[in-house]
Chain A
Amino acid sequence: MDFTLILQNLGLGFSTALSLVNLAYCFLGVLVGTLIGVLPGIGPVAAVAMLLPLTFNLDPVGAIIMLSGIYYGTQYGGSTTAILVNLPGESSSVITCIDGYAMARAGRAGPALAIAAIGSFFAGTVGTILVALLGPPLAEIALKFGAPEYFSLMVMALIAASVLSSGSMMKTICMIVLGLLVGIVGTDVNSGMSRFTFGMSGLADGIHFAVIAMGLFGFAEIASNLSDKADTAERTVLNQKITGLMPTYEDMKAASGAIFRGTAIGAFFGTLPGGGPTISAFSAYALEKKLAKDPSRFGKGAIEGVAAPESANNAAVQCAFITTLTLGIPHGATMALILGALTIQGIAPGPQVMTQRPDLFWGLIASMWIGNAMLVVLNLPLVGLWVKLLKVPYRFMFPSIMVFMAIGVYSVNNLDLDVYFTILFGVLGYLFLKLNCQPAPLILAFVLGPLMEENLRRALLISRGDPTVFFTRPISAGFLIAAILLLIIMIIPSFKKKREEAVASSEVL
């Protein structure tokens, strides 16, 4: 590997990211991310979709720096509420509640918050280095991919997403197919024929992903919260003063191993398509509990139980950028939205981005590291502010979210039809929640749908209709075999039971 080249590239990255404008976007992104992370009831998917109109007038670099900041910022914010209020701001912080809140009740909220931030920062730094090191060689390999390879890769990514998401796998695969079908709506690029538009001219360009994201993740979530009477629920915030932010030497010693292992697990699941911060956090916690000399400490305020999952979820988020940026295949729902934003800016995601727009790729990497440093500052000294924010009642929050969503959806195309379709997807999303169907794989499949059809068509055109082409080309065969292995693992009873246990325990919390 050419080290001077990497340093040169990083130099370009930092000079891009350190420009005043981009620093401001980075700060805005992580600030909003922290806010979203702190506030329960709104996740990164809806947040990125909501803020999309704000990026239309930005240059592509600023836009992606800001949207990425939102994504990894939520991981920091989510831990704050988990520790102080026993309320996970994000699903990836669910497991942090157990020991984090126990520590807070024992008067050790300060060290818990500090170790979460230190772990996240360490993981973020490692993640950023990994993106810088692994990105270029991966992109070089990806440049050699043909249509069959891309098709098989997407099949594998979607299968992995269904295996790693919670809930029934069969239903998740159905949601993926539904997402692919929704992706077909609009004009077929090859024949010029309108498909699934049912005579509506507004659908000629297809349904915009912001419409689906805000319907499924914003609208539906609010309806569900309201029927759970979340707007009248009292939030009990620990009223003690947070004293002694710095962890002791013993704390650091106990947590450092957990931070390393959590980072490794997060990096692994993050790079894997379909894996994500939530599964990383759960696995990291489970590993620490297994390795501990005295597992009974867990649940009563073990510092490893905070350090490991918080490092893991942040490492996963950073490493998700590896596959997303180099292959142009989004890795989860949030990444799909960020790539969609790039497409609006006229940049086709894929391995060529690195050579054509090095300022964008390396600028983003540098900004991620800067953003992580900003987040430590935002989260530790300002923790009191975030806690105050939690006291804002939900009855003020949900109309504000609705206003932002309405304007966001409308401004995408200045089309009232988009607003009506958000209602449709909102009601559908509520039904999905009621029927226990996962909406995140749907949106991933929706973004991949057109790419998948195009590559399938091309692959079969080259092979003159012979479907064995997917198995005779080695890389493509590798992806498909991996997908099949994943499916087989799912059918093995012992693994199935483990996965169901994990899902069940995550629901109890």
Chain B
Amino acid sequence: MRIKNFEDFWSGMMFLAIGVLAIWESANYPFGTASRMGPGYFPTCLGGIMAVLGSIVALKAIESSSVAEHAKPAEGSPFAWKALTMLSLGFLLFGWGVDRIGFIPSLFALTVITAAAGSTFNIKEVLIMSVLLIAGSVGIFIYGVELPIPLFWWR
């Protein structure tokens, strides 16, 4: 037994896991009958479909015979650990800060941190870009669309 197609195998497993989780969670809601559906009816059905389809996708990705073609070597770009981490961190800080430390400081944090997700980081360039982006956003969103967001922590 060997995995013929890694993409399909892992996506199948992921769907199977989500399906089982959905059924598990839906068990907390009344199921009802077909004519009087409870809140658990639809999600349980969906979870079931998902689990079955996921298993099929995963099983089809496994070759049982030993003459199986060689597994596709992992190709493409490497996993984007750095980009995902920096982008997430930027968003986290913005989400946390926007109502606490204000629009301008949290946007500053967001631009600088996300810019660091790229492969080059020139501090002068990033600062200029950050100032321009903040000025533009304040103009459009605070004065233009009048979003109710405080500019700074002193409001």
Partner-B contacts on A (CB < 8 A): 53-54, 56-57, 168, 170-171, 173-174, 177-178, 180-181, 184, 188, 190-191, 193, 195-196, 219, 222-224, 226-229, 231-232, 394-396, 398-400, 402-404, 406-407, 410-411, 414, 416-420, 422-423, 426-427, 430-432, 434-437, 453, 456-457, 460-461, 463-467
What is the predominant secondary structure among interface residues of chain B facing chain A?
A: helix
Residues of chain B from 122 to 144 with CB closer than 8 A to chain A in the complex: 126, 129-130, 133, 137, 140-141
User: Is B53 within 8 A of A173, CB to CB?
Assistant: yes
A121–B118 CA distance with the chains assembled, in angstroms: 39
User: Is B50 within 8 A of A436, CB to CB?
Assistant: no
Which among B36, B79, B90, B92 is the interface contact of A420 at CB below 8 angstroms? B92
A196–B146 CA distance with the chains assembled, in angstroms: 34
- Please encode chain B, from 26 to 38, with 1 for each CB lying within 8 Å of some chain A CB and 0 for all others: 1001100111111
User: Is A427 within 8 A of B88, CB to CB?
Assistant: yes
Partner-A contacts on B (CB < 8 A): 7-8, 10-12, 14-15, 18-19, 22, 25-26, 29-30, 33-39, 41-43, 46-47, 49-50, 53-54, 56-57, 60, 76-80, 82-84, 87-88, 90-92, 94-96, 98-99, 107, 110-111, 114-115, 117-120, 126, 129-130, 133, 137, 140-141, 145-149
User: Is A416 within 8 A of B87, CB to CB?
Assistant: no
User: Is B47 within 8 A of A181, CB to CB?
Assistant: yes
Which among B15, B35, B119, B145 is the interface contact of A57 at CB below 8 angstroms? B145
User: Is A406 within 8 A of B115, CB to CB?
Assistant: no
A286–B118 CA distance with the chains assembled, in angstroms: 39
> How far is the CB of B87 from the nearest CB of chain A, in Å?
6
**Closest partner residue, chain B, to A168 (CB atom):** B8
User: Is A228 within 8 A of B110, CB to CB?
Assistant: no
> How far is the CB of A415 from the nearest CB of chain B, in Å?
9
User: Is A416 within 8 A of B96, CB to CB?
Assistant: yes
User: Is A190 within 8 A of B39, CB to CB?
Assistant: yes
User: Is A420 within 8 A of B95, CB to CB?
Assistant: yes
User: Is B91 within 8 A of A171, CB to CB?
Assistant: no
User: Is B147 within 8 A of A423, CB to CB?
Assistant: no
A132–B86 CA distance with the chains assembled, in angstroms: 48
A332–B79 CA distance with the chains assembled, in angstroms: 29
Which among B54, B56, B118, B141 is the interface contact of A411 at CB below 8 angstroms? B141
User: Is B83 within 8 A of A223, CB to CB?
Assistant: yes
Residues of A within 8 A of B140 (CB): 54
> How far is the CB of A346 from the nearest CB of chain B, in Å?
18
User: Is A403 within 8 A of B92, CB to CB?
Assistant: no
User: Is B42 within 8 A of A184, CB to CB?
Assistant: yes
Contacts A170-B56, A174-B54, A228-B77; A195 near B29 (Cβ below 8 A): yes
Most chain A Cβ neighbours within 10 Å, of B95, B96, B137, B147: B95
User: Is A191 within 8 A of B30, CB to CB?
Assistant: yes
**Closest partner residue, chain A, to B25 (CB atom):** A196
Contacts A414-B148, A465-B33; A403 near B83 (Cβ below 8 A): no
User: Is B49 within 8 A of A177, CB to CB?
Assistant: yes
Residues of A within 8 A of B36 (CB): 461, 465
User: Is B110 within 8 A of A402, CB to CB?
Assistant: yes
Most chain A Cβ neighbours within 10 Å, of B30, B80, B99: B80
Which among B99, B110, B117 is the interface contact of A406 at CB below 8 angstroms? B110
A-B contact pairs, 12 of them (CB 8 A): A171-B8, A181-B46, A224-B77, A227-B77, A232-B119, A399-B129, A403-B107, A406-B95, A411-B149, A420-B92, A426-B87, A453-B42
A465–B95 CA distance with the chains assembled, in angstroms: 46
A465–B34 CA distance with the chains assembled, in angstroms: 5
User: Is A416 within 8 A of B98, CB to CB?
Assistant: yes
> How far is the CB of B148 from the nearest CB of chain A, in Å?
7
**Closest partner residue, chain B, to A407 (CB atom):** B141
Contacts A170-B57, A395-B118; A411 near B87 (Cβ below 8 A): no
User: Is B50 within 8 A of A223, CB to CB?
Assistant: no
User: Is A436 within 8 A of B88, CB to CB?
Assistant: no
User: Is A171 within 8 A of B133, CB to CB?
Assistant: no
> How far is the CB of B19 from the nearest CB of chain A, in Å?
8
Which among B41, B77, B111 is the interface contact of A399 at CB below 8 angstroms? B111
A56–B144 CA distance with the chains assembled, in angstroms: 12
User: Is A427 within 8 A of B84, CB to CB?
Assistant: yes
A190–B36 CA distance with the chains assembled, in angstroms: 11
User: Is B34 within 8 A of A467, CB to CB?
Assistant: yes
A361–B144 CA distance with the chains assembled, in angstroms: 27
Residues of A within 8 A of B145 (CB): 53-54, 56-57, 411
Contacts A180-B46, A223-B84, A227-B78; A406 near B94 (Cβ below 8 A): yes
> How far is the CB of B93 from the nearest CB of chain A, in Å?
10
A181–B47 CA distance with the chains assembled, in angstroms: 8
Residues of B within 8 A of A411 (CB): 141, 145, 147, 149
Residues of B within 8 A of A419 (CB): 91-92, 94-95, 98
Contacts A57-B146, A181-B47; A399 near B114 (Cβ below 8 A): yes
**Closest partner residue, chain B, to A187 (CB atom):** B39
**Closest partner residue, chain A, to B43 (CB atom):** A184
User: Is A403 within 8 A of B47, CB to CB?
Assistant: no
